[in-house]
């Protein structure tokens, strides 16, 4: 039985960062992975979906060439070719996660399904491994609700879709979260007829309604059909079509398509780990951790989707850096989630950090909202990207409580606000900063300028009152 300083379970983004960080410290490190290194992000999430979205955007750009004085055009493509392109991108990026690369850096990479024997030992196949410390980074998987007839009829998830050899001609998306909405736009632009069904009254319910409305309007203009606030009652097969029945406002409706894509959230990968033997508490939603990302076992930490909180690759990487410090050094660091940005990569994009307007209202904090439209930014006009706006939630003395941007390159533009929140920089500093002309980044300066409108209006009112008293 070989002994280690640290064993990491799971070879996704978080697990790879922990393993590499510990190996650089000269420790004996093992990384245990069931399938392939790279995790959901590389094989079923971020990488393939963004490659697919980019191909779809290119197709739309060609169709809209006449808007830029280039005449009428129509893209020529096959869904097979596009899916092959997606897999080629995965293979290229996957080279960074080659097992040999990590072995060369001192990480022992082992493939298999691990299970705990006790807090210090795991079994992988016939092999028993002992370690002082462990890190759980086993990620998550698509969560499927028990809809009558769904299992019998068959469906695909966001994990299966990138294994298709060709795209269906029509799709029903069950779920209106970010994963579903990104994919529905990509498929629509590639000629697939898409219908989205969602139980919630609003797609992407974590975001403010005025921001989501921009996305929904664009998707509807491109051909996506939405039915929100519905209760799905059953799924069945009729001939070569799959049929979903749902109720809305007391009325029964049906929609037919070649295939059904289910995107109803994520579940933590805890099955088969025998976490009880290690003293790790968990629920089907995820593993319990404290502020230092330590589980209920004093020598086992957890990062990423297995905790079922902030299911983003960049958060898993952030947590991994904290765990490396907490597991290897005496000085402990808490995971602070005050400033966590994310982006939904539709076209236009929707990016956010901090409190939304809805959340600020629920929190009962004193705030005001600053807004500025893309259509009044010169670069947005030259690029034909005038849909969208920036929306800033400000507290006292211009403190930035949250920021949201819906529009072109929102995922890039949000980082100015992320840094400002991280460094406690007020909105007035953004207003006073020089932004290159003509760039989309000037949207940030222009929305920050809005802070002074109320200030100046109040100052102007006071001055007029004083003048009135003087001259009356």
Q: How far is CA 214 from the centre of its chain?
A: 18
Count of beta carbons in the 10 Å neighbourhood of residue 425: 17
Within 8 A by CB and 6+ apart from 450, the residues are 370, 371, 372, 392
The residue that leads in pLDDT, 455 or 204, is 204
Q: Give the Å distances, CA to CA, from 204 to 265, 305, 338, 342.
A: 12, 19, 21, 13
The whole-chain average pLDDT of the chain stands at 94
The answer to whether 198 and 230 are in contact (CB under 8 A) is: yes
**Residue 355, token pair as written in the block:** 């409190």
Rounded-to-integer distance, Cα 172 and Cα 242, Å: 9
| Furthest-apart CA atoms within the chain: distance in Å | 96
Encode pLDDT of 368-384 as tens digits: 999 999 999 999 999 99
pLDDT at 472 over 90: no
pLDDT at 467 over 50: no
Rounded-to-integer distance, Cα 394 and Cα 361, Å: 12
Edge-to-edge strand order for the sheet containing 241-248?
Answer: 231-238, 241-248, 251-257
235: helix, strand or coil: strand
Write down the pLDDT at residue 144: 81
% of residues, the chain, pLDDT over 90: 89
Domains of the chain: 2-37+98-142+267-328 (3.50.50.60), 150-264 (3.50.50.60), 342-457 (3.30.390.30)
Write down the pLDDT at residue 284: 82
The model's pTM is 0.93
Encode pLDDT of 3-24 as tens digits: 999 999 999 999 999 999 999 9
Encode pLDDT of 136-176 as tens digits: 999 999 988 889 999 999 999 988 899 899 999 999 999 99
Encode pLDDT of 326-344 as tens digits: 999 989 999 999 999 999 9
Write down the pLDDT at residue 226: 98
Element at 187 (helix H, strand E): helix 178-189
Write down the pLDDT at residue 304: 97
DSSP H helices in 329-450: 357-363, 378-382, 410-422, 427-432, 442-449
Encode pLDDT of 271-302 as tens digits: 999 999 999 999 988 999 999 999 999 999 99
pLDDT at 468 over 60: no
Rounded-to-integer distance, Cα 280 and Cα 274, Å: 9
Within 8 A by CB and 6+ apart from 315, the residues are 304, 340
Encode pLDDT of 426-452 as tens digits: 999 999 999 999 999 999 999 999 999
């Amino acid at each position: 039985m070989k002994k280690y300083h640290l064993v990491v379970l799971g070879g996704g983004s978080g697990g790879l960062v922990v393993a590499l960080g510990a190996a650089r410290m000269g420790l004996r490190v093992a990384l245990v992975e069931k399938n392939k290194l790279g995790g959901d992000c590389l094989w079923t999430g971020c990488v393939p979906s963004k490659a697919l979205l980019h191909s779809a955007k290119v197709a739309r750009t060609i169709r809209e060439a006449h808007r830029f004085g280039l005449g009428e055009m129509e893209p020529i493509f096959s869904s097979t070719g596009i899916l092959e392109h997606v897999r080629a991108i995965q293979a290229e990026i996957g080279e960074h996660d080659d097992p040999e690369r990590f072995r060369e850096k001192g990480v022992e990479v082992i493939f298999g399904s691990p299970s705990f024997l006790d807090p210090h030992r795991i079994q992988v196949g016939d092999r028993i491994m002992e370690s002082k410390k462990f890190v759980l980074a086993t990620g998550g998987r698509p969560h499927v609700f028990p809809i009558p007839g769904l299992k019998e009829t068959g469906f695909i998830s966001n994990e299966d879709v990138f294994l298709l050899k060709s795209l269906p001609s029509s799709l029903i998306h069950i779920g209106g979260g970010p994963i579903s909405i990104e994919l529905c736009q990509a498929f629509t632009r590639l000629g697939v007829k898409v219908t989205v069904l969602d139980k919630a009254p609003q797609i992407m319910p974590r975001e403010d309604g005025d921001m989501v409305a921009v996305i929904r309007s664009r998707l509807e203009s491109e051909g996506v059909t939405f039915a929100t606030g519905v209760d799905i009652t059953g799924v069945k097969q009729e001939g070569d079509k799959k049929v979903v029945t749902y109720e809305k406002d007391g009325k029964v409706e049906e929609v037919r398509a070649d295939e059904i894509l289910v995107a109803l959230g994520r579940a933590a990968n805890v099955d088969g780990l025998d976490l009880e033997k290690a003293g790790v508490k968990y629920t089907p939603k995820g593993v319990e951790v404290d502020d230092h990302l330590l589980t209920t076992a004093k020598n086992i930490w957890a990062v990423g989707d297995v905790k079922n909180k902030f299911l983003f690759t960049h958060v898993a990487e952030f947590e991994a850096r904290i765990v490396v410090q907490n597991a290897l050094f005496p000085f402990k660091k808490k995971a602070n989630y005050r400033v966590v940005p994310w982006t939904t990569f539709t076209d236009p994009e929707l990016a956010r950090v901090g409190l939304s307007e809805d959340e600020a209202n629920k929190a009962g904090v004193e705030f005001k909202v600053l807004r500025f439209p893309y259509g009044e930014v010169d670069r947005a006009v030259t690029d034909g990207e005038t849909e969208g706006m920036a929306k800033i939630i400000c507290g006292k003395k211009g403190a930035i409580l949250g920021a949201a941007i819906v529009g072109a390159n929102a995922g890039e533009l949000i980082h100015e606000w992320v840094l400002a929140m991280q460094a406690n920089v007020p909105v007035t500093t953004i207003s006073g900063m020089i932004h290159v002309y003509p760039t989309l980044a000037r949207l940030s300066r222009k929305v920050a300028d809005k802070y002074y409108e109320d200030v100046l209006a109040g100052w102007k009112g006071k001055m007029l009152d004083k003048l009135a008293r003087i001259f009356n």
